[in-house]
Structure 1
Amino acid sequence: MSCELSETATPEDFARPRWVGQPDVLERAQRLSQKFEEAYGRAPVGVWAAPGRANLMGEYVDFSGGMCLPFAHQYVTLTVAAPREDGVLNAQSMQDADESVADDRPRSTRIDDIEPGVISGWFGYVAGVAWGMNRVARGASAHPVAVPELGLPTSFGADLMVDSTVPIGAGLASSAALECSVALSLFSLNTGNDHPNDALRRALARACMDAENYIVGANTGGLDQTASLRSHAGEILALDCRDFDVVRLPADPALAGLTWLAIDTRAPHKLADGQYSSRRAECEAAAAVLDVPTLRDALPEHPTPDDAAAVLDRFDHLLEVGAELTEDRENTRLRLRHSMTEMVRSVQIADELHSDSPDWAFVGRLLVEGHESMRDDCEVTVPELDAAVDGCLSAGALGAKVVGGGFGGSVIALVSLESVDRLAAAVQLCFAQNGFREPLFLTLQPSEAGRRIL
C-alpha cells in the first residue's frame, strides 16, 4: 500500500482530519447524574471516573511476567451510583460494549448469582467486578492474598449508570475503564472510602482482571486495569508484571516539543474471540518447553538483545532433543521471539526515560521495532494499523506502533507538536488511498488514575 506524502503538500490539500474532542468530564458527569435520577427516581450518591490507557511497550507480555510501560490518558468512563440493601445490582449504559450506539436497556442481577458463563455483553464487565471483588476478598484470586476490605456483604447492592468518553473498540482500554470506574464506585459505596491507597488499588485491579478473565472470557493479563487505577498525571508506569510492582517514570515529551498522537483506525477491536487467548496459550507452551514459570524467568534481571537471542537458541535446541510442545511449533517460536524482544525493548525505554534528557528519537525507533514485532511475530496487526504507522512515519513521526491487543484498534505515534496537523493529513490520505474507513485522531496526555469526581 502507498502512504507517501508529497514534500510540498499541506494539510489543506486533503480532507480535514476528524479529531476527537477533549472531554469535559465534569459536565458529562452532571448530565449523567440527571439521567440517573430520571431512570431510578432518586439522586445518586456520587460519580466515579476511571481512564483508559495507552502503552508505549510491553504488548502481549503482561501474562508472561514482562515489563510494560502504560500510562492513563485523559479519556474516562464514568459511573454514577447509589447503594441498595437487597443484594441486587442494576446497571444502565449510554454505550453498548460492542458498538458505539445507545443502549439504555437496564440490566439486573443478584450479586450472589453472578458466576462465569451466565452474563454476557457489556453487563459482564460490570457484574464481573462485584464477583471479582468478593473473590479477591477471600483470597481466591490468582494472586491469593485475601483483601477482606473488598468483600461485599450479602445485602449489598447498587444502582449504576455508566457513560464513557473513551472511544469504544479503539484499543485504548475502554473495557478496563468501565471495570475500574465500577470497582471504585462499589468499593466507595460499601466502605465509605473515596481514596483507596495503592495497596487497595492493586487489589481492585486484581478484581477487575478476574472479572475480565472469568466473567467476560477475555484472557488478559492486568496491564490495562493497573494503568487505570494506579497511574499518576505526567508519568508513565514501569509495571513489573511478575509482582505488579510499579516504578513511576516522569515522561513529558512536551518538554522536547513532542506529543503522543493516537489514531483510531476504526477497524473493530475485539479480544474475547479467542485470538488473544491463543497467543497467551502459545507463550505458555514456550515457557513449558523452557521449563520456566513464565517467559520473563527465561531472561536475566536486566536483559539485552543478546539474551533474547540466547533464549530462542535454547528453545530450538530443546525441541531438537525431544522436548514436548503442545502448540504449533512455528507459531510458538514467533510468539516467543516477540515476547523476548518486547521485554528487552521495555527495559531499554524504561532506562532511557530514567535519564534527565531522554533521547526521544531512540524511543521512537524502539516503537517502530515494537510494531514490526507485533506485525511479524505476534501477527496481530491488520492493514489499517500498518497503514496508520506507515502514514505517520512518512510524515516525519519519530515512531509509531499499534497500541493494545491489535486485531484493529489504534496506533500511538510520537510526533512533534508543530507537525501534528500535517501528520494527521498524511494518515488521512493513506486511508483514503486504500479505501479504509475515515480514521479518528486524539492527542493523549499521561493523566491521573481513577477517582471520585462528584
Structure 2
Amino acid sequence: MTSSPLDLAAAFTDRFGTEPDGLWSAPGRVNVIGEHTDYNDGFVLPFAIKHSTTVAAAIRPDRIVRVASTFAPDEAPVTADLDALEEGSVKGWAAYPLGVLWAMEQSGYRCPGMDLLVDSSVPVGAGLSSSAALECSVAVAVNDLSQADVSRRELAVIGQLAENSMVGAPTGIMDQSASLLGEVGHAVFLDCRSGDSRLVPLDLEGAGLELMVIDTRVSHSHSTGGYAARRRSCELGAELMGVPALRDLSVKDLAEAAGVLDEETFRRVRHIVTENARVEDAVQVLTSKGPAQLGPLLVASHASMRDDFEISCAELDTAVDAALDAGALGARMTGGGFGGAAIALARADDVAAIGSAVEKAFSAAGFRAPMIFSVLPGAGAARIA
C-alpha cells in the first residue's frame, strides 16, 4: 500500500505517464449483525470502517480501460475495450473494477475510457468486504469522471451487478451500501428488498467501547461453492414455503416450516428468519439502550451461523469463545463465512486482555496467529483529491 494520496498520484504518473484527474476512496465494512440476510431480501446493519481502497483515475480519449494495482507494480496493466466487455469476460481481480464499468454501461450510462491505479488497506479474504471497497471506489470515480450523476443507492446496485455477473459471486447489496452510505458514528440499517436505508447511532467511543476485529487469516471467497450452496438452500426454502423470499417468513412461521422442509433446509431457513429478527432487535437496542447492550444478540447470531447455517470454522469458533471467556460483551463471526474474521464488542479497558487471550487460544490450538485490530464507524466513499 502507498502511504498517502500524493504517493498514489506519483505512482499513477510513473505507471501511466500522466497525472491522474483525481483520487477516490471507499471503505470496507464490518457487519454488526445480519449475515446472509441480504440476498434473502432481509435486513442488515453494517458500518463503514477506516480501512479503504483508493483509486487514482484519468480519462482517456478512447474507449480503452487500463487497470493496475500498487500490489503488483511489475505486472502490466489489464487492458480492456469497453465496447468488447461481456458478462464474465474478465478473470482475476481486474473483474471487479472492469465489472463496474461494464455494469455502468449495462445500466444506461456511457463511460469514457480511463486509466486506473488501485491501492488498498482492506485485508483481502477477511470478511471486511475488500471487493465492495474496490467496486465502490471505482464506481464513485467513474460516476464523477463520466458526469453521470448516479445516486449512491443506484451505485450500490451497479456494484452488486458487477460482482454477481462479471465476477460470478452471488452476493447481496449490503457491502456496497455500507461502503457508499456509511457515516462517522453510525451504522447503516438497510432493507435489502426496498433499498431503503437509515443511519442508526453507533457511538462506540462515547460508550467506552471498541469493536475488535479478529482476522483469522483463513481466507475465503464468495465466488466458490459454500456461499452459493447456502444461497441455493435459501431459495429452495422460500420456494417450498410458497413465499417470494425468506424475508417474508417470521419466527412464528418456523413451526410450519419444520413440517415442510427437510432438516438441513429447515436449519438454513431458521438462521435467516431469526437473523432478520435479531437485526431489528439490534436497531431497537441501539436506539433505546446503546451499544453496550448488543452482546447477547451477537452471541445468538454466532450460534445460529455455526449450528444452523454451518458457515463457521474452528478458527472462528475459537476466536469467539476465547473473546467471550476473556470478558467481551458479545462476539460473532462476521462476513460470508468459511474463514475471514470475527468481531468482539469490548470495553476499551478490556481490549488488550481479550486480544492476548485470543492469541493464546490460537497458539494452543496450533492455528496461525490472528491479526487483531479495532474499528469504529467511519465515512463512506468520497473523492479525496
TM-score by length of 2: 0.97
2:190 to 236, 239, 260: 239
2:286 to 353, 378, 384: 353
For the residue of structure 1 that corresponds to 2:76, the secondary structure is: strand
Give me the whole-angstrom Cα distance separating, in 2, the residues matched to 1:205 and 1:282.
Answer: 25
- Aligned twin of 1:145: none
2:263 to 306, 310, 330: 330
State the 1:442 CA deviation: 1.4
Q: Does the aligned pair in 2 maintain the 1:55–1:68 contact within 8 Å?
A: yes
Give me the whole-angstrom Cα distance separating, in 1, the residues matched to 2:342 and 2:95.
Answer: 27
For the residue of structure 2 that corresponds to 1:438, the secondary structure is: coil
- Aligned twin of 2:95: 124
Question: Does 2:381 correspond to 1:450?
Answer: yes
Give me the whole-angstrom Cα distance separating, in 2, the residues matched to 1:122 and 1:439.
Answer: 24
For the residue of structure 1 that corresponds to 2:146, the secondary structure is: helix
Give me the whole-angstrom Cα distance separating, in 2, the residues matched to 1:286 and 1:52.
Answer: 31
State the 1:135 CA deviation: 1.9
State the 1:298 CA deviation: 2.0
- Aligned twin of 2:80: 109
Written as runs of structure 1 = structure 2, the 5 A alignment for 1:34-433 is: 34-95=10-71, 104-137=75-108, 151-153=109-111, 156-191=112-147, 200-299=151-250, 308=251, 310-318=252-260, 329-355=262-288, 357-358=289-290, 360-361=292-293, 363-433=294-364
From the superposition, tell whether residues 398 and 103 of structure 1 become closer, same or farther in structure 2 (CA, over 3 Å). farther
Give me the whole-angstrom Cα distance separating, in 1, the residues matched to 2:306 and 2:106.
Answer: 36
From the superposition, tell whether residues 35 and 67 of structure 1 become closer, same or farther in structure 2 (CA, over 3 Å). same
Count of matched residue positions in the alignment of Structure 1 and Structure 2: 385
State the 1:95 CA deviation: 3.3
Q: Does the aligned pair in 1 maintain the 2:137–2:381 contact within 8 Å?
A: yes
State the 1:184 CA deviation: 0.8
State the 1:86 CA deviation: 1.1
Amino acid at match of 1:162: V
| Higher Rg of the two aligned structures | 1
Where does structure 1 differ by over 6 angstroms across 4 or more consecutive aligned residues? none
From the superposition, tell whether residues 86 and 66 of structure 1 become closer, same or farther in structure 2 (CA, over 3 Å). same
Amino acid at match of 1:184: V
Q: Does the aligned pair in 1 maintain the 2:47–2:188 contact within 8 Å?
A: yes
From the superposition, tell whether residues 264 and 103 of structure 1 become closer, same or farther in structure 2 (CA, over 3 Å). farther
Q: Does the aligned pair in 2 maintain the 1:380–1:406 contact within 8 Å?
A: yes
Deviations 1:280-338 (A, max 9, x none): 11111111111111111123xxxxxxxx1x3222223345xxxxxxxxx3321111010
- Aligned twin of 1:304: none
Give me the whole-angstrom Cα distance separating, in 1, the residues matched to 2:155 and 2:65.
Answer: 18
Q: Does the aligned pair in 2 maintain the 1:76–1:177 contact within 8 Å?
A: yes
Deviations 1:15-54 (A, max 9, x none): xxxxxxxx9x9x4221111111011111111000000000
For the residue of structure 2 that corresponds to 1:48, the secondary structure is: strand
> Where does structure 1 lack aligned partners over 5 or more consecutive residues?
1-22, 97-101, 138-150, 300-307, 320-328
Q: Identity of counterpart residues, as a percentage?
A: 42
Give me the whole-angstrom Cα distance separating, in 2, the residues matched to 1:244 and 1:364.
Answer: 27
Deviations 1:371-400 (A, max 9, x none): 111111111111111111011111100001
Deviations 1:78-112 (A, max 9, x none): 0000001211110001237xxxxx67431010112
State the 1:277 CA deviation: 1.2
Give me the whole-angstrom Cα distance separating, in 2, the residues matched to 1:268 and 1:63.
Answer: 22
Give me the whole-angstrom Cα distance separating, in 2, the residues matched to 1:106 and 1:296.
Answer: 42
Q: Does the aligned pair in 1 maintain the 2:202–2:291 contact within 8 Å?
A: no
For the residue of structure 2 that corresponds to 1:255, the secondary structure is: coil
For the residue of structure 2 that corresponds to 1:262, the secondary structure is: strand
From the superposition, tell whether residues 230 and 103 of structure 1 become closer, same or farther in structure 2 (CA, over 3 Å). farther
- Aligned twin of 2:367: 436
RMSD: 1.6
